[in-house]
Structure 1
Amino acid sequence: MSAQHSTVADLSDQSVMGDQRLARFGRSTLTIGAIALAVAAVVAWRQQDAHGFAMIWLQNAIFVLTLGLGAFFFTLLQHATGASWGIAVRRIAEAQAANLQWIGLLFLVPMFWLLATDRNWEGAGAHGHGLALIWPWADLAHLTAEAPAEGALVAAKSSYLNPQFFMIRACFYCAFWAIAAGWFFRTSRKQDHTGDPVLSKHMRMASFPTLILFALTSTFAAVDWIMSLSPAWFSTMFGVYFFCGICAGGFSVIALAAIRLQRLGYLRGVLTDEHYQDLGKFIWAFGVVFWAYIAFSQYMLIWYGNLPEETVWFIARQIGDWSLVSIALIVGHFFIPFIFLLSRWMKRRKLTLGIGAVWMLAFAWLDIYWLVMPVIPADVATYLTYDRLAQAYHATSTGLGNPLNYLMFAGFIGLYIGSSALRLSGGAVLCKRDPRLAESLGFENI
């Protein structure tokens, strides 16, 4: 067993209650995010590329969604398993998960606007009317005229892939996430005031059905918003792959928030090396190892099956500059963090864990970019060999040099961090009256 803690947990108001220190940090971060989004709007207006802007918006909205879903999953997992170590960290996750109350608007507002205007989008990458600016199946007639074979495949899915049902599902996903995450946050905060242990039982019992709905909604959202960007393609493992991305980004930002709070003077002696080690375990297990297992399994099964409607999705990510991104993900999302966070010592030190978390957050963003941005060549079926296709598309660009990518990232992540900080500033940053808090404070790894 590890050595006894050398510090005593400081449960004074200055250590566990949010105040102006956190509020100032939240307001400054929100301001940075708002400025970044304003600059992004100017850049987008100058570029005059509606499809490109829409795809960058979608990619970054999905990324910030994964952070909120990761925090929500962490919260649910702590309740469902009854783990005591996570109680000291849970409020940080709850506050971040509560961002799901507004993150859904990043999807619903643009979707309803596209559906209502039903504009015929023209230019590179556009696919027809309304939602077809992003999702080609939304204008089946236009898709069939451009690619008859793909249109025939998509027509068979039209009972599911149609704008009306698509919007109904999107509203359900966002409403469920917002209501459920908000309820867990409010109930946990209520316990801070009442100290009622029954509330812990209520949250534990609610976590089981919520986990099931979480799995279903996150899977179907991944299918609807990402997989249907290439509507003829399918993978039964895609939802699990998306879940790995949720864990990689969500757990990393929880660890970074915990480190930042302690540097601001909160949670002194509350969060110890033991808690950081377990946070590092979560990042390493779910975001690194499980991600690599699912990614390899998905690729191997599609490669072995060798069905053209499946393999073209990966081919689009192996041509031109996309091959470099694919290699970067293999190395940066698995090999480097696998080795870096493997040691117990690396997970127990705030500096090294913080470096690992920032690294994983960056590659979680790149992973979403890799999922959303590549386009399957329309004439892919006309090439007899892969080498000929690769030669024809050797100059394909990833678009990573577009400043909109980073302005949108800074804008959305600023809103996410700022909202979380302001939410924490209005109360305790710790589940201070949870009946098992003492167990969490005294937790030690074996």
Structure 2
Amino acid sequence: MSATELARLQFAATTGIHWLFVILTMGLVPLVAFMHTRAVCTRDPATRALRERMTRFWGQLYVINYAVGIVTGLVMEFQFGLSWSGLSAFAGNVFGAPLALETLIAFFAESTFLGMWIFGWGRLRKGVHVTLIWLVALTAYASGYWIMIANGFMQHPVGYEVRDGVAYLTDFGALLTNSSALTALGHITLAALTTGGVLVAGVSAWHFARGTKEKELFRSSLRLGTWVAMVASFFVVIVGEMQRPVIERTQPMKHAVLEDSGVAELQRQLVEQYGPGDYVPPQGWIHLSMTSMTVIGNTISSITLVAVFLLLKDRLVRWRPLAYLMTAMIPFAFLASVGGWVVREMGRQPWMVYGQLKVEDALSHVSRASLITSCTVFITVFVALAVTNWTLITRFAVRGPAATQLGATEPLAEDLPEGPSAGAGDTQPALAL
């Protein structure tokens, strides 16, 4: 493999693995915030206690994913200087600010709010505590917005001018309203909610199929997850199609490959415009990824639509094969999301910044041996983190609410339900994840 191919493989592998953490973080945190809000707004002590346990159970899975995922995010930052210094030199003045804001939000604001929420169980007033998890959700999506602004510039550069071979920002408003970024953000948001809903529904259905004693908790979780997945998966297809006109206008070659029409003519035009070169992205990968994403998305939408009706009278969980089918959908939601990223990123090849900077020109002047070493180390570390993450999530998901450690602390007096048995089982010392 050439140095360019090694650098691309490293970035593709690490970005793809990191995205598995991001999509679950964005998809699960609004559901946890909704659960917590319902618990806080519930007057009946028994129901409130049940909903708090539900919040803590799903919140623990979210915290595990966030804690491990933040490590992959930190490592990602090193790659711009390590392998792609040409990109930083050309476009750093433009997308440096969005990347910096994303880092500040994700690694400072979001982490701070989440830490306060984790250690706030039984120590903060209910209103303050539930506000914190909504702030976590808000900052998670704000972080996603800024990273998509940076990526949107690479897909469709706007609001800049080139002086002496370097791009300078001239219109911050144009950068913030880049159509390539905003439509993609809408698509990603719905994909994340679909993933979060499928996970909640799938884990809940698995517990029902295994004969759980926590029927009320998982019944409520199953309803929430199924409804969210059904609605989000329906609209994710619609918003995905809304990107077609944007792609046709900003990246005609990607559109031609997706439509499998006019590729040869566009190749000729691009050679005339930019000089000799191969301007056709990997058609096989793009078609495979697009087909996989479309088929999986439509399948999830269809299954969850049927599942919503089967929720009546617990028909969904009375027949075990259906419950296991809901569980089996969990990994496919992630596969569809990765497929979307492959289409978006590989579809703009050979450009790093579309029409301005080619991939080979963005590559750092490093030896092939160095790239082999860094590629091996990065991918090994990321795979290890992914395996660790999903091992922990699976272990705590299978154990159920009884093994939940998040929020296992002495509650405030005002939050204790009335009665002699108030707070039973919830007075262990606090244990941080």
Q: TM-score, normalised by structure 2?
A: 0.58
Residue from 92, 105, 114 that aligns with 1:169: 105
Rounded to whole Å, the distance in 1 between the matches of 2:25 and 2:395 is 15
TM-superposed deviation, 1:103:
3.7
Identity within the alignment, %: 8
Rounded to whole Å, the distance in 1 between the matches of 2:256 and 2:137 is 29
Rounded to whole Å, the distance in 1 between the matches of 2:294 and 2:66 is 32
Report 1:76-155 matches (<5 A): 76-79=36-39, 81-82=41-42, 87-88=49-50, 90-113=52-75, 115=77, 119-121=81-83, 128-129=84-85, 139-141=87-89, 144=90
Does 1:358 pair with 2:331?
A: no
TM-superposed deviation, 1:232:
3.7
User: Is the CA contact 2:296–2:336 (under 8 Å) kept in the aligned structure 1?
Assistant: yes
**Other-structure match for 1:435:** 417
User: Is the CA contact 1:223–1:239 (under 8 Å) kept in the aligned structure 2?
Assistant: yes
Equivalent AA in structure 2 for residue 217 of structure 1: T
**Other-structure match for 2:25:** 65
**Other-structure match for 1:203:** 126
Residue from 197, 217, 221 that aligns with 2:143: 221
Rounded to whole Å, the distance in 2 between the matches of 1:434 and 1:88 is 13
1:108-147 Cα offsets, whole Å, 9 max, x none, are: 43444455687532xxxxxx04xx9xxxxxx333xx4xxx
User: Is the CA contact 1:248–1:361 (under 8 Å) kept in the aligned structure 2?
Assistant: no
User: Is the CA contact 1:66–1:249 (under 8 Å) kept in the aligned structure 2?
Assistant: no
User: Is the CA contact 2:27–2:192 (under 8 Å) kept in the aligned structure 1?
Assistant: yes
Rounded to whole Å, the distance in 1 between the matches of 2:254 and 2:52 is 38
| SS of equivalent to 2:300 | helix
Residue from 320, 326, 330 that aligns with 2:287: 320
User: Is the CA contact 2:226–2:307 (under 8 Å) kept in the aligned structure 1?
Assistant: no
Q: How many residues align?
A: 329
User: Is the CA contact 1:244–1:286 (under 8 Å) kept in the aligned structure 2?
Assistant: no
TM-superposed deviation, 1:156:
4.4
Distance change in 2, residues 1:426/1:363 (3 Å): closer
| SS of equivalent to 2:82 | coil
**Other-structure match for 2:98:** 160
Rounded to whole Å, the distance in 1 between the matches of 2:406 and 2:382 is 35
1:217-253 Cα offsets, whole Å, 9 max, x none, are: 1212323456744544434355554444444333444
Between structures 1 and 2, the one with greater helix share: 2
User: Is the CA contact 2:114–2:133 (under 8 Å) kept in the aligned structure 1?
Assistant: no
Residue from 231, 236, 249 that aligns with 1:308: 249
Q: Structure 1: which 5+ residue stretches go unaligned?
A: 1-45, 122-127, 133-138, 145-150, 191-198, 383-401, 439-446
TM-superposed deviation, 1:423:
8.5
Equivalent AA in structure 2 for residue 370 of structure 1: G
**Other-structure match for 1:236:** 182
TM-superposed deviation, 1:350:
7.1
Rounded to whole Å, the distance in 2 between the matches of 1:205 and 1:57 is 34
Rounded to whole Å, the distance in 2 between the matches of 1:240 and 1:436 is 45
**Other-structure match for 1:5:** none
Rounded to whole Å, the distance in 2 between the matches of 1:288 and 1:316 is 30
Does 1:250 pair with 2:191?
A: no
**Other-structure match for 1:293:** 235
1:161-212 Cα offsets, whole Å, 9 max, x none, are: 3xx444322212541453144135x33xx8xxxxxxxx7xx3245324642x
User: Is the CA contact 1:89–1:258 (under 8 Å) kept in the aligned structure 2?
Assistant: no
Query: Of the two structures, which has the highest relative contact order with CA contacts closer than 8 Å and spacing of 6 or more?
Result: 1
| SS of equivalent to 2:215 | coil
